[in-house]
Amino acid sequence: MTPEFLIIHQQAQPHVAHIALNRPKELNALNLQLMTELRDALRALDEDEQVRVIVLSGNEKAFAAGADIRQMAGRTAMDMYNVDQFSTWDAIKKIKKPLIAAVSGFALGGGCELAMLCDMIVASETAKFGQPEIKIGVMPGAGGTQRLTRAVGKALAMEMVLTGKFITADEAWKAGLINRVVPVELYLEEAFRLAAEIAQLSPLAVKMAKESVLRAFDSTLDEGLHFERKNFYLLFASEDQKEGMQAFLEKRAPVFTGK
């Protein structure tokens, strides 16, 4: 089924897919349908052998201004429990291919959390990041208190979560939340440039490297090192390892096939 709230380009560039959130009138507020469509699209692209990297964007004015407050306002705790919105977020967390968020304008609440669920963030100078849930009587519910704190540290995370204040792209970059800031007319181009750089590498090595970096957040150092080592060994079972090392020795560019 064609998604209502997403624009999907399976090959926006060779081996790079692009999903644009598309609810512009509501500043891409993340309603349940949009999140379900996003989960399904990401899963399909994750299984698509032609795709190696996925760029996720909104539009120039908003990446996403948060979960849909209109949809949540009347909910009871039991409604929230029964709807189990977390399952879509958990499924996105399991995507194996690199996800690059291209953020312009508002990335607030669930929008900031969605950007942080991606592996890297490229932002335009106009981007604003925030967890303003406290201003509407709740608190972050999709990782904001955890991923933001790990990215920017306690002082700034606490201030953002307790006051709801927004930070600029420049502040986000200085705090280590995002990878780079570029002029607004270049933010998508820069995200695609970064995606293309990764897409020419071994897709197997890239996936296992992503998995290993993420493991650092869920494990002790020893467990993480053990996990890293297993993935490192495993890559020696791939044709890409043979090709990559042989190409180096032959002083030529490698051709990776993902096998």
Residues marked as catalytic: 67, 110, 113, 133
Select the span of 50-58, 63-71, 146-154, 174-182 touching ligand DAK (CB under 6 A): 63-71
- Residues in contact with ligand DAK, counted by CB under 6 A, come to a total of 22
Torsion of CA 77, 83, 86, 91, to 10 degrees: 170
- The minimum distance between CB 106 and ligand DAK, in angstroms, equals 5
- The minimum distance between CB 215 and ligand DAK, in angstroms, equals 22
According to the binding rule CB under 6 A, does residue 227 interact with ligand DAK?
no
Q: Is 129 helix (H, G, I), strand (E, B) or coil?
A: strand
Residues 80-139 that bind ligand DAK (CB under 6 A): 85-86, 89, 106, 108-110, 113, 132-133, 136
- The minimum distance between CB 206 and ligand DAK, in angstroms, equals 27
The residue (of 23 and 97) whose beta carbon lies closer to ligand DAK is 23
The residue (of 53 and 115) whose beta carbon lies closer to ligand DAK is 115
Nearest one of 50, 222, 65, 225 to 129, comparing CA atoms: 65
Spatial distance between the Cα atoms of 107 and 113, rounded to a whole number of angstroms:
8
Contact between 10 and 50 (Cβ < 8 Å): yes
According to the binding rule CB under 6 A, does residue 70 interact with ligand DAK?
yes
Number of C-beta neighbours around residue 13 at 10 A: 15
Binding mask 16-55 for ligand DAK (x = CB under 6 A): ----------xx-x--------------------------
Q: What is the DSSP string of 76-121?
A: -HHHHHHHTTHHHHHHHHT--S-EEEEE-SEEETHHHHHHHHSSEE
The residue (of 138 and 213) whose beta carbon lies closer to ligand DAK is 138
The residue (of 166 and 227) whose beta carbon lies closer to ligand DAK is 166
Hey, what amino acid is at 96? K
Residue where the block lists tokens 């020696």: 236
Out of 65, 115, 204, 208, which residue is the one contacting ligand DAK (CB under 6 A)?
65
Spatial distance between the Cα atoms of 205 and 247, rounded to a whole number of angstroms:
16
- The minimum distance between CB 9 and ligand DAK, in angstroms, equals 25
Spatial distance between the Cα atoms of 109 and 66, rounded to a whole number of angstroms:
5
- The minimum distance between CB 246 and ligand DAK, in angstroms, equals 46
- Tokens at 100, concatenated: 């690059």
- Tokens at 184, concatenated: 């607004």
- The minimum distance between CB 5 and ligand DAK, in angstroms, equals 13
Nearest one of 131, 183, 124 to 160, comparing CA atoms: 131
According to the binding rule CB under 6 A, does residue 9 interact with ligand DAK?
no
Q: Which residues bind ligand DAK (CB under 6 A)?
A: 26-27, 29, 65-70, 85-86, 89, 106, 108-110, 113, 132-133, 136, 141-142
